[in-house]
Amino acid sequence: MKNFTTCICIMGLSGVAAADVLMDQIGDMDGSGIADNIMASQDFEAAYDVYDVVVADDFAGDGSAINSVELVLGGWNGFVDPSSIAGYTANLYSGSTAAGASLTGDIASQYVDAADATVSADWAGANFLVGMATDMASNPGDQLVGVIPSNDFATGGQTGLADSLLGNGVNAWQANPGGGFGFGAVQDAGAEGALRIAGGAPADPCTFPLPATCAADVDGDGSVAVSDVLAIIGAWGDCGDGTYRPTGDIAPMPNGDCCVTVADVLAVVGNWGADCSVYGSCCMSDGSCSEMTDMACMDAGGSWVEGGDCATADCVAA
């Protein structure tokens, strides 16, 4: 969003890590690729949670590691400089719907303490260039990247991301799941965002955490049962080679051991009978909302948002 009637914003960027650049909408260090406007992106203190917001812009991933993220950071309404920011959360989203449902990236999310971020001393443009090292992995194909500064409004004002004059001609999205800004959960931001990301070789899937819940639902049918044991037996003894995690590698937590062994069978037994169905908000044609699985919503003729809840869903009667 370019301008709010309720004011909140940030801008920033900092250079990090020499690696393959996957997306650059910041450009030269003289700031010539940056426009004047700021788009709100901020994690507020608890009293203002309904205003938590992100600007997320698209890039084409290839499954490689994301080693660094940079943004051009600025602000208003009491914001002075990055010293008021406690940290930054870098997020990768599968799309605007996912960002509108939750500001936590559904592909990847990583919090970086402000002490571990870098404010570039060589940046000659307006506002601040902030960068941070990350340990995330992109998905193959189109996705969104966004960075959310954690900044208390009461003492640090509002923060946001600078508009970019560079990019692919496709505007960023602005997501505010709490609905505080009044535009719904997500909207076209009206400009591209000043972000840069760099990465390297595709990350070894076995270096990343397993799902915090329901890793034992190996076959993904929504429950932990005999079929999951059979899936493990079918992959018995398989070990990853750095390019894949074998189906059935679900233990030990948090990252597994990249092989299918007795430990994985025991993990299924330990979670036997668990309900692993994915729930979300389901908007009906009459404007009502219920929380249910995607299949139940489809059967009811509704419109489903994964991870959504009816408290924030924007259901409108047809």
Q: Quick one: pLDDT at residue 179? A: 96
Q: Quick one: pLDDT at residue 16? A: 42
Q: What is the pTM of this model?
A: 0.62
Q: Quick one: pLDDT at residue 14? A: 40
Q: Quick one: pLDDT at residue 5? A: 30
The full set of domains in the chain, from first to last, is: 20-202 (2.60.120)
For the chain, the three-class secondary structure string (H helix, E strand, C coil) is: CCCCCCCCCCCCCCCCCCCEEEEECCCCCCCCCEEEEEEECEECCHHHHHHCEEEEEEEEEECEEEEEEEEEEEEECCCCCHHHEEEEEEEEECCHHHHHHCCCCCCEEEEEEHHHCEECCCCCCCCEEEEEEEEEECCEEEEEEEEEEEECHHHHCEEEEEEECCCCCCCCEEECCCCCCCCCCEEECCCEECEEEEEEEECCHHHCCCCCCCCCCCCCCCECCHHHHHHHHHCCCCECCCCCCCCCCCCCCCCCCCECCHHHHHHHHHCCCCECCCEEEEECCCCCEEEEEHHHHHHHCCEEEECCCCCCCCCCCC
Q: Quick one: pLDDT at residue 202? A: 66
Ranges under pLDDT 50 in the chain = 1-18
pLDDT digits (tens, 9 = 90+) for 288-311: 999 999 889 999 999 998 888 899
pLDDT digits (tens, 9 = 90+) for 120-164: 999 999 999 999 999 898 988 999 999 999 999 999 999 999 999
